[in-house]
Amino acid sequence: MKITVIGTGYVGLVTGTCLAEMGNHVVCVDVDGEKIRILEQGGIPIHEPGLLEMVTRNRSAGRLQFTTDLVAGVAHGTLQFIGVGTPPDEDGAADLTYVLEAARNIGRHMTDHKVIIDKSTVPVGTGERVRAAVAEELARRGLTIDFAVVSNPEFLKEGAAVEDFMRPDRIVIGADDEQAILLMRALYSPFIRNHDRLLVMDLKSAEFTKYAANSMLATRISFMNELALLAEKVGADIELVRKGIGSDPRIGYHFLYSGAGYGGSCFPKDVKALISTARNEGIDLKVLHAVEAANERQKLVLVDKVLARFGSDLTGRRFAIWGLAFKPNTDDMREAPSRVIISELARRGASLTAYDPVAMPEARRVLQDIEGLTFVDQPAQALDGADALIIITEWKEFKSPDFDAIKSRLKQAVVIDGRNLYEPALMTALGIEYIGVGRSNRSCENAT
């Protein structure tokens, strides 16, 4: 099939590349000339495991092209995916400026039948607004050209995006046009060959499903973070509690880790947007308000632990920071808890030496105003002479570190672990003062 993807960010680039991998002819369009330049020169503008190889393969095969030429982009695809950003506006609602601009652009330049597929995360009712925007542009040109609008929310996880797209748990299609539904079935059938995981529903329900999914996941995280605060007070270990409840199949193990709060480009903005949609309908989503408030508090939990251990004036203190990205396997720093933690510690006079396996270039850009923040190329370098090690992102390479080096290179053998990577009992045995989230320091010998 001939496909155009409008917006070549995390979602657009992965979508376009994976669709090309199945043999489709894909043109990815973006207004950001720098992004397109990097892609045309054989690089990729983001870190995503497996993506560069797939982009390279499909470019060489002539199935994947990148352009800033919006007119050529509209001309190419029968299927027009919209994968542009939907950041929160000042009230927390999703800002649809980019989505509607992309839709208008299709209406301005289309000359034949198009299926317009919204892959961006958009509030209920956006499909209708996309339809109206395209129709308005066609009317302005005095043309009647048939087109369909489909909602196809994306559920990929950054850091595992290629894998998620190639082997999806489910594909949600919201549409009322039978021809468009048939096309979408054909497009996705190679991705779901062993059993059908395509869920067809109406447009509004599809749009709603994406927000419901992210809000549910955010709720689980905030719930566990609150329980972790209580576990510390009463002397329980949240990691044992997590295993205790996760073993119940009605609950399951996913998204039950307490830590430094959720971040990234999706959960914070999608929770806000659903609250905003509900507010417009006169409904106060009390659970989600609490989820948001708990998360804001949680981002400061590591700071509170530093202050409890070292006092409120951190002048002259230096801390090693391991992990900056909002989660492992990505360089995405959007809404990363590290940003709040680093700003707050620096504001109190601390200097910080940070390491992240891939997010340092992006971190340098977004944290450039922070005084006393330096970056190092190796995790061990960050330790030298620091008062404590603070772990913010659970990269694999931090999971089995050289504990002797941690102990000997730090000025004080203190580890403040925002991701609960280590066993408290082991750390105590090693002579390292260990401060996790919701952990007790009792022996965990029987824990598995």
Ligand X SMILES: NC(=O)c1ccc[n+]([C@@H]2O[C@H](COP(=O)([O-])OP(=O)(O)OC[C@H]3O[C@@H](n4cnc5c(N)ncnc54)[C@H](O)[C@@H]3O)[C@@H](O)[C@H]2O)c1
User: Residue 192 in contact with residue 198, Cβ under 8 Å?
Assistant: yes
**β-strand partners of 116:** 80, 149
Residues 6+ apart with CB under 8 A from 91: 276
CB nearer ligand X, residue 46 or residue 421: 46
Give CA separation, 343 vs 124, 258, 337, in Å. 36, 22, 10
Backbone angles phi, psi at 43, to 5 degrees: -105, -175
Mention every residue, 6+ apart, whose C-beta is less than 8 A from residue 61: 20
**Residue 362 beta carbon to ligand X: minimum distance, rounded to whole angstroms:** 12
Residues at the contact surface with ligand X, assessed by CB under 6 A: 6-12, 29-32, 35, 83-86, 98, 101-102, 120-121, 154, 156, 158, 265-266
* Residue placing its CB nearer to ligand X in the complex, 21 or 332: 332
Report d(CA 295, CA 223) in Å as an integer: 9
Instruction: Tell me how far apart the alpha carbons of residues 193 and 199 are, in angstroms, rounded to a whole number.
Output: 14
Residue 298: partners with Cβ closer than 8 Å, 6 or more residues away? 222, 225, 259, 260, 261, 337
Q: Does residue 444 have an active-site annotation?
A: no
Give the integer Cα–Cα distance in Å for 62 and 227.
52
| Residue 204 CB, nearest approach to ligand X (Å) | 17
Nearer to ligand X, 38 or 240 (CB): 38
Q: Helix (H, G, I), strand (E, B), or coil: what is residue 2? A: strand
Shorter beta-carbon distance to ligand X: residue 292 or 417 = 292
**226 is written with which tokens?**
């609150």
Laid out side by side, the sheet with 388-391 consists of 373-375, 351-355, 318-322, 388-391, 414-417, 433-435
Min dist. Cβ of residue 392 to ligand X (A): 19
Closest CB 228 distance from ligand X, rounded Å? 25
Q: 417, 423 in Cβ contact below 8 A? A: no
DSSP strand pairing (25-29 vs 64-67): parallel
Helix axes 126-140, 97-109, angle to 10 degrees: 40
β-pairing, 318-322 vs 388-391, is parallel
Closer CB to ligand X, 154 or 232, in the complex = 154
- Positive or negative, the CA dihedral 28, 29, 35, 41 is positive
Six-digit token pair at 426?
């082991």
Tokens describing residue 85: 């950003």
Q: Which residue in 18, 28, 266, 444 is the catalytic one?
A: 266
Cα dihedral 366/371/375/380 (nearest 10): -130
Q: Which is nearer to ligand X, 261 or 438 (CB)?
A: 261
**Alpha helices (H) along 125-202:** 126-140, 161-166, 178-188
* Residue nearest to ligand X as judged by C-beta position: 9
Q: What gap in Å lies between CA 179 and CA 80, rounded to an integer?
A: 15
Give catalytic residues, as residue numbers.
Answer: 266
